[in-house]
Amino acid sequence: GGTTEAAPKPSHKDNDPNFAVGMGRSMRAMSVFNEVKADYEQSLANVTNEAERKAVLKLVHARSAVKALQLAKDLGGIYNKAAQLVASLQGGAGERGIPEEYTRALSILTDRAPPKPFSYMDSVLVEEFGQSGKELFKSIEDEPIGAASLAQVHKATLHDGREVAVKVIYPSLRKEMASDFAVIRTMGAQIKPGGLDMTWLVADLEAALKQELDFESEGKNAEESAKRLSHLSNVKVPAVLWNYTRSGVLTMELEKDLIKVSDVPALVQAGLKPQAVGRLIADTFAEMALCHGHVHGDPHAGARRTLATATCTATHMQETFISEREATLLRQSWYCLITGCTTKW
């Protein structure tokens, strides 16, 4: 018999959609949705007292949030991203629209999603650099220091002794996301004749998420942010190390002793005032958008950290430059919201 060639290893750059994969994932999500829907209907069916209804709702919210979390963990990708969005709807928007049970349960997905084994993630480093992370770096930790919807981050040490954070894309993410969108586009096309055109929204969402998958673009956004915010002594953007950065890998200098901005007890313990930290972050984002036309589209708590002396912007994936006209309209809108003006500009 002849020799059998080994099957080529899948590439993290493979973004050819597999409709069957996307349909299987969507059917799993639909099954969970129907299970949760039935739970709400059955649990509230015979409840007439308002106080009892609120108590029952909290119990169903808690059960359903666990199911939503497990679904996002299992499927990852766009489902994890959606859960991350829900988890970010706190503060002013929170309780009125998203029950606390959901935001609390799903919040771990901003930076504590289920990690993948380093042996699995290492395939991206081999494909991008031609060598394992164990060779590329003097050392790299197997356990990630953070894991989110699109990638996980490993602490590493360069051969010159510098410590860095290495962000690596999940190897199967591009294909899974392309497969998911193939199904979503098909569904969108089917409902369009009925008068609800969602195809533009799907196209915009897909374009935005594809941008997030280009880590070289993220590195350029980080450098642009650092340049435009360089006059602010209390804002830090970690430096990008381009020799160790590719489309699926982003390596930045490691900032130690960072505190998640939503961890109020930790902020207080470090001697920081949470309101002051929040004001600094809001001022920074406002300057980026209103003064520089540089809009950050993914400002969840998992992407923001603070030091004792500065806020640290850790991710720069969905940063987009808007036109001068759009920036002017944005400034005018905020001015009128704050002052109550009704003058036509």
- How many alpha carbons lie under 13 Å from residue 200 in its C-beta half-sphere? 2
What are the tokens at 115? 């990690």
Q: List residues with catalytic annotation.
A: 298
Cα distance between residue 124 and residue 141, in whole Å? 15
What are the tokens at 101? 């049970």
Cα distance between residue 196 and residue 218, in whole Å? 34
Residue 102: C-alpha distances to residues 62, 65, 98, 105, 275 (Å): 7, 5, 7, 5, 24
Residue for token pair 């209804």: 53
What are the tokens at 321? 């430059």
Q: Return the bridge partners of 321, or none.
A: 294
Cα distance between residue 28 and residue 75, in whole Å? 9
The length of the chain in residues reads: 345
Cα distance between residue 133 and residue 150, in whole Å? 19
In the chain, the N- to C-terminal Cα span, in Å, equals: 81
CB contact at 8 A, 212 and 298: yes
Cα distance between residue 304 and residue 298, in whole Å? 10
Cite the DSSP H helix spans in the chain.
Answer: 19-44, 50-75, 77-88, 94-97, 100-106, 118-129, 133-136, 173-191, 199-212, 215-228, 264-269, 274-286, 324-339
